[in-house]
């Protein structure tokens, strides 16, 4: 199967190509690319070949891991659930182990968002796969689902509602062509609802009604926004919706789509059968029987809340969206750049100052990258991002604006960014002035010292341009050692510019607190 790659967002192209983006190799140069979706119900992998703007799917793998079923009341993943996931990833690893960095993207969804001990699972998963695992927010998951759907169905001009019922969350997106207009993620899924309402496998009208009501209550918070925006077509993008459509088709009530008549028939059939173990209906695989009643209750609630009459199904979903997003990053259509531009516009960032700081920070990185072990692509990307948005907090208040900015970045829905991306970016913004919170950097383990070094480079660039374009700045030398940084200005320049000199004297005191000796001459 070959899919033509269309623009990620209709009518939009990135015009600013910074060094971090241009450092990416062409995606056509990779032998293969892969996307892995660590879902709450299933783990999926898509292996593909990118060839002159096209994606050719080579392999699809999937396994019902039911990670969400391993979450206890304290939101801790059981060892048994983690082992199920790792056993699946061990098989995936045979296909990804030899792929280069940048050719594989792995995303975790609701179960890993919820799990308090997700770091342990992620550590073990990364050891197996030899690639980084990202945990993405619900709205980022929604964006990627829509991206996968929009590349997999007919390109129609009207608005569409896309729904994906996962194991732990359900995503709603209204979009037009390739652009999502509304993205929402609700805390309801076929695995989590099975645990709540059908744990012992018994199907009764009372239990079904409880699941249905719980789903309606969840949807109520977004129902008005969905109806206000409106749509022409409804599309389902999950295995649950596909299974329901196939069961309805097998009963002679449709052609693979979901409709109200079919939902009513299925509900009556479930009540008559009474137990998930006996749920032997055409279209429903044995490994989906246990979670089928919960999925049906959620979908019926969606149909009623949104007054849907018919919902078609898309084979493309999250993992395909991840694949297209990965291609976009290598073809200078990185949605993260657009996200940051929007953030800067919303919070009235001084664009000229941000550009000056970014240029100086990246120039400084080039000079010390080898000595400070900052040679990976993500080091340059993160420093570039932080330089662009370090002043977003000024729009809130000048006092402690670095803390305001860090909060905004960590807790906003930033399209294209994983949770770890946002946490690291927020930390650099938090540490770009005054005290550097060493304990927060230490939470990133071995990467903590590298993040501190990136923070030091950001602080240097900001101090260097403390006077905002008001004077011509000199060329300086940077000499880095493991625990020190020396900045060499031209002879007599500092004496003639006492404000800059005072800035760096004060900076030496701040850096001493994180174990870095700064000397300026």
pLDDT single digits (tens) 34-85: 999 999 999 999 999 876 666 788 999 999 999 999 999 999 999 999 999 9
The Cα–Cα gap between 447 and 123 comes to 13
421 within 8 A of 389, measured Cβ to Cβ: no
Mean pLDDT rounded to a whole number for the chain: 89
340 within 8 A of 385, measured Cβ to Cβ: yes
Instruction: List all residues 6 or more positions away from 390 whose beta carbon is below 8 Å from its beta carbon.
Output: 354, 357, 402, 405, 428, 429, 432, 458, 462
Residue 332: predicted pLDDT: 53
- Helix crossing, 292-306 with 190-197: angle to 10°? 110
State how far the Cα of 376 lies from the Cα of 493, in Å rounded to an integer.
34
Q: Which residues of the chain have pLDDT under 50?
A: 1-23
**For position 443, what pLDDT does the model report?**
87
Give the model's pLDDT for residue 305: 96
pTM of the model: 0.75
Q: Which two tokens stand for residue 162?
A: 């896309």
Q: Which domains does the chain have, with CATH numbers?
A: 2-136+319-329 (3.30.420.40), 153-314 (3.30.420.150), 334-520 (1.10.3210.10)
DSSP code of residue 44 = E
Per DSSP, helices labelled H in 71-109 are 79-96
Helices 498-512, 448-464: crossing angle, 10 deg rounding: 170
Q: What is the pLDDT of residues 198-213, one digit of tens each?
A: 999 999 999 999 999 9
Q: Among 50, 263, 359, 306, which Cα is nearest to 170's? A: 306
The token duo for 411 is 């807790």
Q: How high is the pLDDT of residue 470?
A: 62
């Amino acid at each position: 199967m070959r899919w033509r790659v269309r623009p990620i967002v209709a009518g939009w192209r990135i015009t600013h190509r910074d060094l971090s983006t241009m450092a990416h190799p062409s995606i056509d140069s990779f032998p293969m690319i892969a996307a892995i979706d660590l879902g709450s119900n299933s783990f999926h992998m898509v292996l593909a070949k990118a060839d002159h703007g096209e994606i050719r799917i080579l392999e699809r793998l999937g396994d019902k891991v039911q990670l969400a079923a391993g979450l206890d009341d304290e939101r801790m993943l059981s060892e048994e659930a983690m082992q199920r996931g790792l056993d699946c990833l061990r098989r995936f690893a045979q296909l990804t182990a030899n792929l280069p960095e940048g050719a594989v993207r792995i995303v975790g969804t609701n179960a890993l968002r919820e799990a308090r001990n997700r770091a342990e699972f992620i550590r073990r998963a990364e050891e197996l796969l030899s690639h980084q695992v990202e945990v993405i927010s619900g709205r980022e998951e929604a964006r990627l689902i829509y991206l996968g759907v929009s590349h997999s169905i007919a390109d129609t001009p009207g608005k569409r509602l896309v729904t994906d019922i996962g194991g732990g969350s359900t995503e709603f997106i209204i979009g037009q062509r390739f652009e999502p207009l509304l993205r929402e993620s609700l805390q309801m899924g076929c695995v989590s609802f099975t645990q709540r309402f059908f744990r012992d496998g018994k199907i009764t009208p009372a239990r079904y009604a409880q699941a249905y009501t719980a789903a309606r209550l969840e949807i109520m918070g977004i129902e008005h926004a969905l109806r206000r925006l409106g749509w022409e077509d409804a599309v389902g993008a999950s295995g649950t919706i596909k299974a329901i459509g196939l069961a309805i088709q097998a009963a002679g009530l449709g052609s693979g789509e979901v409709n109200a008549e079919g939902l009513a028939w299925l509900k009556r059939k479930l009540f008559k059968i009474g137990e998930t173990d006996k749920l032997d209906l055409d279209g429903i695989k044995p490994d989906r029987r246990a979670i089928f009643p919960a999925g049906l209750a959620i979908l019926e609630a969606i149909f009623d809340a949104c007054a849907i009459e018919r919902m078609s199904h898309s084979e493309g979903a999250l993992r395909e969206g991840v694949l297209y997003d990965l291609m976009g990053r290598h073809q200078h259509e990185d949605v993260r750049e657009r996200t940051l531009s929007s953030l800067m516009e919303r919070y009235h960032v001084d664009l000229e100052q941000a550009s000056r700081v970014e240029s100086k920070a990246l120039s400084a990185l080039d000079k010390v990258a080898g000595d400070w072990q900052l040679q990976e692509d993500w080091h340059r990307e993160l420093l570039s991002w932080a330089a662009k948005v370090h002043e977003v907090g000024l729009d809130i208040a000048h006092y402690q604006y670095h803390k305001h900015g860090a909060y905004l970045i960590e807790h906003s829905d930033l399209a294209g960014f994983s949770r770890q991306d946002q946490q690291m970016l927020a930390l650099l913004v938090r540490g770009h002035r005054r005290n550097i919170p060493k304990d927060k950097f230490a939470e990133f383990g071995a990467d903590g010292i590298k993040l501190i070094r990136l923070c030091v480079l950001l602080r240097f660039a900001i101090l260097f341009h403390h006077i905002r374009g008001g004077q011509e700045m000199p060329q300086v030398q940077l000499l880095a050692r493991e625990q020190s940084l020396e900045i060499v200005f031209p002879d007599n320049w500092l004496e003639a510019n006492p404000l800059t000199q005072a800035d760096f004297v004060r900076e030496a005191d701040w850096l001493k607190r994180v174990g870095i000796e700064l000397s300026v001459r």
